[in-house]
Amino acid sequence: MQDFSLYFQLGWQHILDWQGYDHILFVTVLCATYTLSDWKKVLILVTAFTLGHSVTLALSVFKVVSVSTPLIEFLIPVTIVITALANILVKRQKPKSQNFKYSLALFFGLIHGLGFSNYLKSLLGKSNNITAELFAFNVGLEFGQVLIVIGVLLLSFFLIWFVKIKRWDWNFFLSSAIFGVSIVMSVERLSVLLS
């Protein structure tokens, strides 16, 4: 149980770490177009992302899949750029675009899981209890992710219902800001990848 709480804590601390804020940006932009009343859609969206990153996190930790760290570190902000751009370009959500968003979250989760695995593998070292530690770390990641989602939805609720900012304006502002940050991050990481 002590190992579970340790790896659980490491999981949520990793996703909420401001020094590695790319995952925070992704979860934030993933939820940028939603409000509290859309909680079912957000639940499906976050579940799709979770399924994706859980699969590659496990495959990478068990050494079934291996992808170069600089490539993954470059692809993570690219996923943020694409998600932010999709939020900006799609003014009204249609059922088909919603299903596309779920598929995109699942696919991008695969990329983010490889990023999480680099950190987890460095923690595990030569541990013999990888399965339990992987599970605890993943649950910790989900806890951190839920905190981000709740924070984004509550902020959206406050700004839209009390400050009276239009929903589209809030989405446009938040998605554009994250788009700008992630473009810079992508360029910086591309130079590392190409060097």
Contact 70, 193 (CB under 8 A): yes
Mean pLDDT, the chain, whole residue set: 92
Amino acid 121: pLDDT: 83
**What is the share, in percent, of the chain residues with pLDDT greater than 70?**
97
The SS3 assignment for 17 reads coil
Residue 34 lies in a domain: yes
Of 111-120, 140-149, 164-173, 179-188, the range with the lowest mean pLDDT is: 111-120
Residue 20 lies in a domain: no
Q: Which domain holds residue 149?
A: 2-15+25-194
**pLDDT, tens only, 10-44:** 999 999 999 889 999 999 999 999 999 999 999 99
CB 152 within 8 A of CB 39: no
Is the pLDDT at 176 greater than 80, yes or no?
yes
pLDDT at residue 93 in the model: 65
Cα gap 89→162, rounded to integer Å? 26
Is the pLDDT score of 126 beyond 80? no
**pTM listed for this prediction:** 0.93
Alpha carbon separation from 13 to 17, 61, 62, 80, 168 (Å, rounded): 6, 19, 22, 20, 32
What integer pLDDT is reported at residue 1 of this predicted model? 61
